Amino acid sequence: MDYNYLNEMKSRLRRIEGQVRGVLRMMEEGKSCKEVVAQLSAVRNASDKAIAQIVAENLHQCILAKQAEGNQNTEKMVKEAIALLVKSH
């Protein structure tokens, strides 16, 4: 199955990429540990949200595909999605 990642998700990841570059710049400028860690926490939170969104969208697409095939048993897919979310933490 081909995955269709929304442009919104790609834009979110580009913002995260920019945040990481900003953290590196802060480190090169000798910013305080507190400031760097605060920005890294923001990167982690944004990344966690992106992971959750990708898993949720993928699960939604997979369930719709199974239902279109006439298969209503989606329990395995839900369990796999939950496992992905748990693994990401």
Domain extent, residue 32, equals 7-87
Residue pLDDT, tens place only, 32-86: 999 999 999 999 999 999 998 988 888 888 888 888 888 777 888 788 888 888 8
70 assigned to some structural domain: yes
**CATH code of the domain covering residue 74:** 1.20.58.1000
**How many structural domains are present in the chain?**
1
Q: Is 39:23 a contact under the CB 8 Å cutoff?
A: yes
The pLDDT, as a whole number, for residue 81 is 83
The predicted pLDDT at position 30 comes to 97
| Residue in this structure with the two tokens 């209503």, named with its chain if needed | 72
Residue at 79 is within a domain: yes
Residue 1 lies in a domain: no
2 lies in some domain: no
